[in-house]
Structure 1
Amino acid sequence: MARGRGVSGLVIRAVGGQALLLEAGSPQAVAALYARLLAERAAGALGEVAEIVPAAATVLLDGVAEPAALAARLATWSVTGAGLPHGPLLAIVTVYDGADLPEVAALWGVSPAEAGALHCAVEYRVAFCGFSPGFGYLTGLPPALAVPRRATPRPAVPSGSVALAGAYTGVYPRSSPGGWQLLGRTDLVLWDARREPAALLAPGVRVRFVPVEG
């Protein structure tokens, strides 16, 4: 099985012998598809699937017992971005004093204080996770506020940095290199291997940034 296309435009590709890659096309369609897959698996109606992993435009199904049969069934699904599940809400207290805040404000045509207010006025949603443990790619920023990555990445971005890149918002769970634009910082520990769950951000979680003075 190489690929197939369902009535929704969902593209289904075989990956190795026990995995399927589902191309949904948009973050909204990915979120809706991911939610349905989780619900179907929880109800025992999906068959044997070990992992369901969303990304920017795809969902990977790994550990699939019968890939061809599941692909044929998925090809009948209609997937849209409507009716996304109402995930739990996480408040992230943030000091808006990031090194790139003035530059981002200039791109938006506002003052640094207004830029912070614009950023925290939005409710975000974790679309997928990656880059490092605990890092979530948050959607919800209006398209007009998308900003480019820095031309030169920093060798070390402090843990807890709240940042932007393109249409995504993210929070660095630990110090690491990075080229995102830094807006502010939080003391919230997003990843702790001793905690259950270790990651506070997971696909579907809603996020509000709450501004405070530093």
Structure 2
Amino acid sequence: MSAQPVISHLGVTALLFEAPGDTTLETQRRIWSLAHEAETWPEVREAVPGMNNLMVTFVRPPQSPEPLAERLRKAWASVSPLPLAGRVLELPVMYGGEGGPHMADVVAHTGLRVDDIVAIHSAPVYPVYAVGSHPGYCYLGGMDPRIATPRRKTPVLKIPGGAVSIGGAQTGVSASDGPSGWNTIGSTAMRFFDIARDPPVLLQPGDSIVFKPAGVIR
């Protein structure tokens, strides 16, 4: 029997749908497709994709959420991956130095040279799986496992917007100043959230990022 999704309550205002299996681009595309379908249902206020999950909020709290949960299960069994072909953003990154204070920790964990880490990190096209955590932040897929590095035991209280970091098997770019438990290896001047911009969020699921080395500070 194939694995089934897990659906749990988020208070009385929402359900969290968690897809079975690993987080892959195909699974994420099915999440996007499920979100598009669920948003057309009259009882749904909003469907927000996450990493391997979907948050569905209610127009009003139902007497029982089970009918909606069952509808999500049935829809998941029939949806096809949504082939969103978005924009590809080339992102200049200055690696190392003050803007990449944890590069040495990634070197120590992986056993790779700085130049190797930069080359491996900047090679893929990273699809945006979801947007969240803080406004404009993009959850990216596709990082090479050779540079995967555990999150920091003690989080940093504040990293600047534009910080390029590695946390476990993922990489990302901080959209604004704030705390982080990831390993910051570089920085970019690009800003992913600007309240004066329309829309304020730079990228959406289905878009992609390519990191372009602008230099390496040792």
TM-score normalized by structure 2?
0.80
Q: What is the aligned counterpart of 1:180 among 171, 179, 182?
A: 182
CA positional deviation for 1:7: 7.0
* Letter paired with 1:122: P
- The 3 A distance-change label for structure 1 pair 56 and 39 is closer
2:173 corresponds to which residue?
Answer: 171
Q: What is the aligned counterpart of 2:121 among 110, 119, 122?
A: 119
1:40 corresponds to which residue?
Answer: 37
- The 3 A distance-change label for structure 1 pair 59 and 11 is same
- The 3 A distance-change label for structure 1 pair 17 and 107 is closer
Contact persistence 1:105–1:114 (CA under 8 A): no
Contact persistence 2:94–2:188 (CA under 8 A): yes
Distance 1:151 1:207 in 2: 28
Q: Deviations over 1:158-205 (max 9, x none)?
A: 221100101111111222222211111100111101111111133332
Pairing 1:193-212 to 2, within 5 Å after superposition = 193-212=195-214
Pairing 1:84-95 to 2, within 5 Å after superposition = 84-95=83-94
Q: Deviations over 1:33-90 (max 9, x none)?
A: 3221244257x4x444221122233211112567544333332232799665333222
* Letter paired with 1:140: G
Contact persistence 2:120–2:147 (CA under 8 A): no
Q: Comparing 61-70 with 157-166, which one deviates more in the overlay?
A: 61-70
* Letter paired with 1:93: P
CA RMSD of aligned residues (A): 2.8
What is the aligned residue count? Answer: 207
CA positional deviation for 1:121: 0.4
1:3 corresponds to which residue?
Answer: none
Pairing 1:66-105 to 2, within 5 Å after superposition = 67-76=65-74, 77-78=76-77, 84-97=83-96, 98-105=100-107
Q: Comparing 20-29 with 60-69, which one deviates more in the overlay?
A: 60-69
Aligned to 2:68, the other structure's residue is in SS state helix
CA positional deviation for 1:130: 2.9
- The 3 A distance-change label for structure 1 pair 131 and 16 is closer
- The 3 A distance-change label for structure 1 pair 204 and 8 is farther
1:158 corresponds to which residue?
Answer: 160
Q: What is the aligned counterpart of 1:23 among 18, 24, 29?
A: 18
Distance 1:156 1:198 in 2: 22
Contact persistence 1:128–1:202 (CA under 8 A): yes
Contact persistence 1:50–1:62 (CA under 8 A): yes
Gaps of 5+ in 1: 1-5
- The 3 A distance-change label for structure 1 pair 73 and 179 is closer
- The 3 A distance-change label for structure 1 pair 11 and 200 is same
* Letter paired with 1:172: S
TM-score normalized by structure 1?
0.81
Gaps of 5+ in 2: none
* Letter paired with 1:33: R
Q: Deviations over 1:108-133 (max 9, x none)?
A: 22211121110010111222233322
